[in-house]
Amino acid sequence: MRKVGLVGWRGMVGSVLFQRMLEENDFHAILPHFYTTSEVGSPGPRIHGIPYFLKDANDIQALAEMDIIITCQGSDYSRVFYPLLRDFGWKGYWIDAASVFRMKKDSCIILDPVNREQIDKALDDGIQLFVGGNCSVTLSLLGLSGLFKAGLIEWMSLMTYQSASGAGARHVRELIAQSSYMSQDSEVSNLLYRGSLISLLKRVNELMNHTEMPKKAFSVPLIGNVIPWIDNDLGDGNSREEWKGEVEAHKILGLRSGSFFLNGLCVRVGVIRCHSAAITMKLKYDMSEREFLDLIESANPWVRYVSNNKEESIRELTPARISNSLKIAVGRYKKMFSNSESIYSVFTVGDQLLWGAAEPLRRMLNILLGRL
Ligand code: NAP
């Protein structure tokens, strides 16, 4: 059996990956080793009654014993340790959740329901670096892969509503701590069901801007707020998250740059888990709801079309409904303007910790195990 090192397994993505691997019995097919940057030697997880102890993720020798390394530790870690391992002579496979190597020439972005041929070709070509795509890109591509595969999209505006857990474990804890900070305030409690509404709103606003509001991770409150910038500022008006959308989508689909246009605004919202996106897209021709539904649902088993009406949209097309499931919900399909241009709106919701992060990694592991 192959030795598989898991780095970053207690983080947001890593813990979801671990859970999925348990559910799918992936640990039966490998010899797992768990690594940490902070708690070397501590007890790690127990799998089928066997206790594992944590190895040092900064120890090149210990890492180099692995046939495959899956890391959910983040770009800062990968940027340092991947080249160090290669310099050390390591010949294994590296599967990464972080963005740092996605656009590298000798890497393959993994989303096998969409680009299995590319993954197989990369393996045939001797590629050993496999990277999960950006979460919003991945979810949109999976949801609309029927349209992408048929080459029916001319351009797309992707306005994302990204959850706190998309930023990592510290951030999601902070959002919950912000909620708790608000609800534990005695003035808020007193005013919640009686008394002046104006006083309640004033007190809530004071608390949101209070120095004691927990905001170390996000630097601003996320509760009752939206943050219209994710990742670094590229200096050209785009955030790095927005740039990733266009370049990664082209790479995943194996298209040359500029084959279609994709841009938008990436916004952090006070949702715990699941990213949503409001998409405006120009199709090559006018498409009935029936044709759209058939195209997207036949592309992969995870897409669920939600009819464009109020009752189903508010019930089925939300993070609350989709959280912790592999479904990608696609709805609000409508022609935007009455003129002849084929411009449509659509709304997608998917769990960014599953299809947007952990699931492509564990599926890549299994593809690899089938080939080695
Ligand atoms: P994360 O939750 O911050 O975890 C990364 C590491 O931080 C952990 O493995 C852990 O390492 C350490 N850590 C520090 N404080 C922690 C705490 N309180 N709880 C748990 N772990 C803590 O990051 P992540 O969201 O999983 O993201 C990992 C990588 O995946 C990033 O490159 C990210 O860009 C990418 N990604 C994330 C998502 C997403 O939705 N979150 C989606 C796609 C891709 P030690 O055990 O070594 O201390």
Cβ 7 under 6 angstroms from ligand 1: no
Q: Per the residue annotation, which of 72, 135, 266, 274 is the catalytic one? A: 135
DSSP 3-state of 260: coil
- Whether 140 and 158 have beta carbons less than 8 Å apart is answered as yes
Q: What is the mean pLDDT of residues 259-273?
A: 96
% of residues, the chain, pLDDT over 70: 100
Q: What is the mean pLDDT of residues 308-313?
A: 98
In whole angstroms, how far apart are CA 100 and each of 9, 21, 84, 103, 190? Answer: 18, 24, 15, 8, 49
Segments in 144-195 forming alpha helices (H): 145-149, 169-183, 186-192
Is residue 90's pLDDT more than 90?
A: yes
Q: How far is CA 207 from the centre of its chain?
A: 31
Cβ 97 under 6 angstroms from ligand 1: yes
Q: How confident is the model at residue 118 (pLDDT cuts 50, 70, 90)?
A: very high
% of residues, the chain, pLDDT over 90: 97
| Whole-number pLDDT of residue 18 | 98
Q: How confident is the model at residue 76 (pLDDT cuts 50, 70, 90)?
A: very high
| Closest ligand 1 atom to 138 CA | 43
- Whether 138 and 253 have beta carbons less than 8 Å apart is answered as no
| Whole-number pLDDT of residue 339 | 82
CA of 134 to the centre of ligand 1 (A): 14
| Whole-number pLDDT of residue 20 | 98
| Whole-number pLDDT of residue 369 | 98
CA dist 25 and 247 (Å) reads: 34
Is residue 4's pLDDT more than 90?
A: yes
- For 316-365, the pLDDT digits (tens) are 999 999 999 999 999 999 999 988 899 999 999 999 999 999 999 999 99
Cβ 133 under 6 angstroms from ligand 1: no
Cβ 73 under 6 angstroms from ligand 1: yes
| Closest ligand 1 atom to 13 CA | 26
Q: How confident is the model at residue 259 (pLDDT cuts 50, 70, 90)?
A: confident
CA of 289 to the centre of ligand 1 (A): 39
Q: How confident is the model at residue 65 (pLDDT cuts 50, 70, 90)?
A: very high
Cβ neighbours of 254 (radius 10 Å): 12
Is residue 258's pLDDT more than 90?
A: no
6, 9, 12: which to mutate for ligand 1, most atoms within 8 A of CB?
Answer: 12
- For 37-55, the pLDDT digits (tens) are 999 999 999 998 999 999 9
Q: What is the mean pLDDT of residues 174-190?
A: 97
- Whether 38 and 56 have beta carbons less than 8 Å apart is answered as no
* Mean pLDDT (the chain, rounded): 97
Clarify whether 72 is annotated catalytic: no
Cβ 74 under 6 angstroms from ligand 1: yes
| Whole-number pLDDT of residue 340 | 80
CA of 16 to the centre of ligand 1 (A): 11
CA of 315 to the centre of ligand 1 (A): 31
Cβ 37 under 6 angstroms from ligand 1: yes
Q: Cβ neighbours of residue 110 under 8 Å, at least 6 residues apart? A: 95, 119, 130, 131, 132, 133, 360, 361, 363, 364
- For 8-21, the pLDDT digits (tens) are 999 999 999 999 99
Cβ 350 under 6 angstroms from ligand 1: no
Q: Atom 21 (ligand 1): residue with closest C-alpha?
A: 11
Please, what is the Cα angle at 147 between 146 and 153, to 5 degrees? 165
CA of 283 to the centre of ligand 1 (A): 37
250-256 long-range contacts (CB < 8 A, ≥24 apart) are: 251/102, 251/103, 251/109, 252/109, 252/111, 252/114, 252/115, 252/118, 252/133, 252/137, 252/138, 252/141, 253/114, 253/115, 253/141, 253/148, 254/115, 254/117, 254/118
Radius of gyration of the chain (CA): 22
3-state helix, strand, coil in the chain (%, to 5): 40, 25, 35
Q: How confident is the model at residue 261 (pLDDT cuts 50, 70, 90)?
A: very high
72, 137, 239, 352: which to mutate for ligand 1, most atoms within 8 A of CB?
Answer: 72
CA of 99 to the centre of ligand 1 (A): 13
Clarify whether 274 is annotated catalytic: no
Six-digit token string for 82? 């991947």
- Whether 26 and 32 have beta carbons less than 8 Å apart is answered as no
| Closest ligand 1 atom to 78 CA | 32
Please, what is the Cα angle at 145 between 95 and 232, to 5 degrees? 55
0.75 exceeded by pTM? yes
Six-digit token string for 146? 């029927």
Question: Tokens 């066997």 appear where?
Answer: 50
Q: Picking from 121-125, 148-152, 227-231, which range would have the lowest pLDDT averaged per residue?
A: 148-152
CA of 13 to the centre of ligand 1 (A): 6
